[in-house]
Structure formats: structure tokens, C-alpha cells
């Protein structure tokens, strides 16, 4: 009974552009209940169904009605990055593109839903797309709806995963100018003890060049992986990933899908689909789906950090609301009591 009571009072999070559930998993680990998911890719929906079979789900955000979204404290989502990414060769379409332009559909839903907190994740290329005008459009749109907004670039390697993955996280708190600041930025500072420099000291080794593994038999791999990108299992040498596994005998291979799961902070096997549903497909085709989904995913440990800070913020705001209500009730009661002798004196 006690467990049911705790579950009932968990804050709720609705997920948009859900992918394979990076935000969803991180927020669950941070104490939230996933109330809703929206994702259009069939393979990603298959993975979401595998891990959240009972969660309400919608496929296309363009025809989604806000009235069908369960009441939730937080909305999260990373709208498609293809049109703002620096990895895109040639001119970037920005928010006018067919994919990244889906932000406007998310904003449409926000105008009606207006949850207490929103979190948006995207590539850092969003900051410079069209000389910053696209990022300005995102911020102004959220502000017009009523959100006080803050943003911060967070790198996954600082959250316990072996991957350098910088992403911009935008947090909005509805009608509260302090909310985004309290969530995104820590008030505490480090001690600031910096080791004194020494002449002729040994140069620091880049974590990208520091190798781990078995130097005799292999495999040998980098301590920190380069950022994972969506790519094909049929490696052509033109993808953006520079992370490979080597062996002392000269063999070189790419990371396996299960290794990419670990590098992204997902449990091993997270993207492994139901074998019976793909028994007639080529293994490379299945791996391609996994590589693409993982390359586009939000790193769960980063999402968990945000979730824990948002949960603390929501709890503090709830306490403020309760105290405000109590003071209002007490004040009204006091006014009523004070009015009694006044009425009596008039009758006399």
C-alpha cells in the first residue's frame, strides 16, 4: 500500500520526439513517471513499446491534439536536428526545414498545454544556425507563450559516460523567472585548487588518445569516444564517427550496437528488437536501425541529472503553493472573526 501511495505522487513527464527513450529513461531514473510519448519512426516506436508497453503513445506530432496529452508536470523533447546540425554538408535550412521545423508544432501544443517545466535538447549547431536567428526564434517563441527560459551546453562525458557529446539544453519554467536558473545552474562552486604549473612537466594525454583494453590480445579502445552520430551499418568511411576498436594484430572494427548503447549510457541490449519481428531481415539492416536510433538519442544520465533538479524545483514550488494557500485561508478566517464584533456592535 505504501509503495502505491509513493507511485501515485510521482511527478509526470510527457515526451515528444521520443526516439528510443533517452529522456524517458533518464527521467524515470530521476523519479518521474512517463505519461505520454510521441514518436514517428517505426523502429523507435518498437523500442518504446518494448520498454513502456502501457504508456499512451502518438506517432505524428503534426496531427496531435493537446487535449489527448495526459496532464503532466514536465514536457521534454529534442526536435529533429538535421536542418540545424553542423554535420550537415552545405547550407542549413534551419527552422524552415521539414525536420527541424517541427519545433513549431511543439510550440503549438505548448500554447495550449503549458506544463510547469519544459526541456528541449538539440545539437549546439542550433546556436549558430542562420547566424543565431533560429535560436532566437526558439527563445522568443517560448517567451511569448509564457516561459522564462535558460540554456546551457552540457557534455555527456561529464555525467559518467565515455563519450564526448555536447548538446544544448533549453529549460523553460512557466511564469517563473527563477525556475530555469535554479534547474540548470548549481549555486555552489568548486574549491578552485589548481595544481601549480611545473617546467618540463609531462604533457597531458588527451582522453581521446588514451587507450584501454588488452594490449596483448585486444580489443583496444579509446577512454573517451568521439560523439556518436546516426550512421549505417554498412560503413563507407564517410561517416563522422572517429571511434574505432583496434587489435594488436592490426585489425580495426567499428563499435558494435551494444557497445554504442554503453557509450550512450543505455543498458546493454536496450535497442535489441524482437527477433521474431525481424527474422527475415538482414542483420546489417537491423544494426543500421540501431546505429541511427542511438546516434540521435539523448544521453540518459544527462536527462537524469536534469530530472532530479526539476523534481527538487517542483517540490519546492509545491511547498510554496501549500504555504501560500494556508496563509490565505488563515487571513480570510481572521477577517471573518474580526468582522463578527463589528456586526454585533451595529445591531446594538
So what's the pLDDT on residue 345? 44
| 112 lies in the same domain as 86 | yes
So what's the pLDDT on residue 202? 62
SS3 330: helix
pTM of the model: 0.84
Q: What are phi and psi of 220, to 5 degrees?
A: -120, 135
User: What's the structural domain count of the chain?
Assistant: 2
pLDDT tens series, the chain, 348 aa? 343 434 458 999 999 999 999 999 999 999 999 999 999 999 999 999 999 999 999 999 999 999 999 999 999 998 876 655 555 545 556 666 666 678 899 999 999 999 999 999 999 988 988 888 889 999 999 999 999 999 999 999 999 999 999 999 999 999 999 999 999 998 766 565 555 555 655 666 677 778 888 888 889 888 899 999 888 887 665 555 678 888 999 898 889 999 999 999 999 999 999 988 888 889 999 999 999 999 999 999 999 999 999 999 999 998 875 555 455 545 556 555 554 554 444 444
The dihedral sign for the CA sequence 329, 331, 333, 335? negative
| 132 lies in the same domain as 255 | no
| 243 lies in the same domain as 304 | no
| 228 lies in the same domain as 281 | yes
CA 80 to chain centre: 13
Residue 115 lies in a domain: yes
The dihedral sign for the CA sequence 170, 136, 73, 43? negative
Residue 250 lies in a domain: yes
Neighbours of 40 (CB within 10 A): 15
| 142 lies in the same domain as 41 | yes
Among 70, 100, 75, residue whose Cα is nearest residue 13: 75
Residue 195 lies in a domain: no
Q: Are 134 and 124 contacting, i.e. CB atoms less than 8 angstroms apart?
A: no
Burial-class residue 290 by CB neighbours within 10 Å (0-12, 13-18, 19+). Answer: buried
Question: Which are the catalytic amino acids?
Answer: 81
- R_g over Cα of the chain: 25
| 111 lies in the same domain as 76 | yes
Q: Are 208 and 193 contacting, i.e. CB atoms less than 8 angstroms apart?
A: no
| 83 lies in the same domain as 229 | no
Domain that holds residue 39: 11-185+297-315
Amino acid at each position: 500500500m505504501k509503495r502505491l501511495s509513493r507511485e501515485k505522487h510521482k511527478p509526470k513527464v510527457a515526451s515528444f520526439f521520443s526516439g528510443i527513450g533517452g529522456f524517458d529513461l533518464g527521467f524515470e531514473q530521476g523519479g518521474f513517471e512517463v505519461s505520454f510519448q510521441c514518436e514517428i519512426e517505426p523502429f523507435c516506436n518498437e523500442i518504446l513499446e518494448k520498454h513502456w508497453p502501457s504508456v499512451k503513445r502518438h506517432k505524428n506530432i503534426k496531427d496531435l491534439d493537446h487535449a489527448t496529452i495526459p496532464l503532466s508536470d514536465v514536457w521534454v523533447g529534442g526536435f529533429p536536428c538535421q536542418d540545424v546540425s553542423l554535420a550537415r554538408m552545405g547550407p542549413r535550412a534551419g527552422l524552415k526545414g521539414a525536420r527541424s521545423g517541427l519545433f513549431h508544432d511543439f510550440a503549438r501544443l505548448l500554447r495550449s498545454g503549458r506544463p510547469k517545466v519544459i526541456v528541449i535538447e538539440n545539437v549546439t549547431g542550433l546556436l549558430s544556425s542562420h547566424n543565431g536567428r533560429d535560436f532566437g526564434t526558439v527563445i522568443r517563441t517560448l517567451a511569448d507563450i509564457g516561459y522564462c527560459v535558460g540554456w546551457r551546453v552540457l557534455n555527456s562525458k561529464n555525467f559518467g559516460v565515455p563519450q564526448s557529446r555536447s548538446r544544448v539544453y533549453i529549460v523553460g519554467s512557466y511564469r517563473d523567472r527563477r525556475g530555469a536558473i535554479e534547474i540548470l545552474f548549481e549555486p555552489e562552486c568548486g574549491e578552485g585548487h589548481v595544481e601549480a604549473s611545473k617546467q618540463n612537466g609531462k604533457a597531458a594525454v588527451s582522453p581521446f588518445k588514451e587507450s584501454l583494453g588488452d594490449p596483448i590480445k585486444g580489443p583496444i579502445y579509446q577512454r573517451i569516444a568521439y560523439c556518436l552520430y546516426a550512421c549505417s551499418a554498412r560503413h563507407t568511411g564517410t561517416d563522422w564517427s572517429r571511434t574505432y576498436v583496434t587489435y594488436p594484430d592490426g585489425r580495426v572494427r567499428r563499435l558494435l550496437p551494444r557497445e554504442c548503447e554503453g557509450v550512450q549510457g543505455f543498458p546493454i541490449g536496450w535497442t535489441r528488437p524482437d527477433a521474431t519481428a525481424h527474422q527475415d531481415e538482414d542483420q546489417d539492416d537491423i544494426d543500421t536501425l540501431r546505429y541511427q536510433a542511438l546516434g540521435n538519442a539523448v544521453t540518459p544520465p544527462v536527462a537524469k541529472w536534469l530530472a532530479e533538479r526539476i523534481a527538487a524545483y517542483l517540490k519546492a514550488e509545491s511547498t510554496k503553493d501549500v504555504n501560500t494557500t494556508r496563509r490565505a485561508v488563515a487571513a480570510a478566517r481572521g477577517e471573518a472573526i474580526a468582522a463578527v464584533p463589528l456586526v454585533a456592535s451595529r445591531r446594538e
